[in-house]
Amino acid sequence: MKNIFFLLVSVVLLSSCSTYQDVLKNDDIKAKYEFADSLYSQGKYKKALRLWEQIVPLYRGRPQAERVTYLYADTYYELGDYYNGGYQFERFVKSFPQSTKREEAAFKSAESYYKRSPRFNLDQGDTYIALEKLQGFINEYPDSEQVDDANAKVQELNTKLERKSYEIAKGYNKIGASRGTFPNAISAFDNFLLDNPGSIYREDALYWKFNSAYQLAMGSVKRRQAERLEAAKTAYNALEKYYPQGKYADEAAKELAEINEALQANDLLN
């Protein structure tokens, strides 16, 4: 019985494969359309895609063009090919401005760009494009059910950009002792704080700016040390003002004590 069962399954599979290949080679676009539609409905997106690729150009100007074009874009999307999916959804939106699927296509297009956004430490070109597309969707469809999701994605991407900027500044701090990049770190943290006043990394940026100023001052030649020590104290005051009981409070207090000792020593020498 088992052998008979497997034989029947094999026959069905071979028949299915044969039918698919036959349809691929057939010039009947209606048969291709119906078979692609069936494959799409079953979640067999790779096979469906090959058929959509054949018939999409042939359906332009026909009544079915809108549906075929949408399913073509959505097949890419379902396959996780967000480069082609985003592009095809964008084309759909432009080609069918009166479609009832336009809003959904616009969101999926923007979401495709969002899904292309890489890790924070890589080039963020796609992230900037995703932000532009998502914001465009929010502006065009302010009452959409997808607006909350789009806003959340915008926030997530902005946080990613903030982290990249923060990590660049912190990188200058890490190599400061060996490469002399503490001034670069201070400048980078200043720019970060100016550009991202509400960032989740604000406390970290304030502390590492102070730490950079502290290390720069402590390692300075005597003629420049007093000025830099005072600048470090100013940086400490900014941290202490906003985060008096923050996660860096103990470490910052120790470094401030060293700064005050160094200032007293400088006063004695003068």
pLDDT band at 116 (very low <50, low <70, confident <90, very high): very high
Count other Cβ atoms within 10 Å, centred on residue 50: 15
pLDDT of 72-83, one tens digit each? Answer: 999 999 999 999
CB 205 within 8 A of CB 247: no
pLDDT at 4 over 60: no
Residue 196: strand, helix, or coil: coil
At residue 33, the pLDDT reads 95
Count CA atoms within 13 Å of residue 51 on its CB side.
Answer: 29
At residue 94, the pLDDT reads 97
CA distance 60 to 11: 37
Cα separations in angstroms, 167 against 76, 79, 187, 227, 260: 34, 33, 13, 27, 29
Name every residue whose Cβ is closer than 8 Å to that of residue 112 and which is 6 or more positions away in sequence. Answer: 77, 82, 83, 85, 86, 89
CA distance 137 to 102: 11
pLDDT band at 60 (very low <50, low <70, confident <90, very high): very high
Average pLDDT, the chain: 93
CA distance 48 to 72: 9
At residue 7, the pLDDT reads 35
CA distance 203 to 182: 18
Taking the model in full, what pTM does it have? 0.88
CB 110 within 8 A of CB 90: no
At residue 11, the pLDDT reads 36
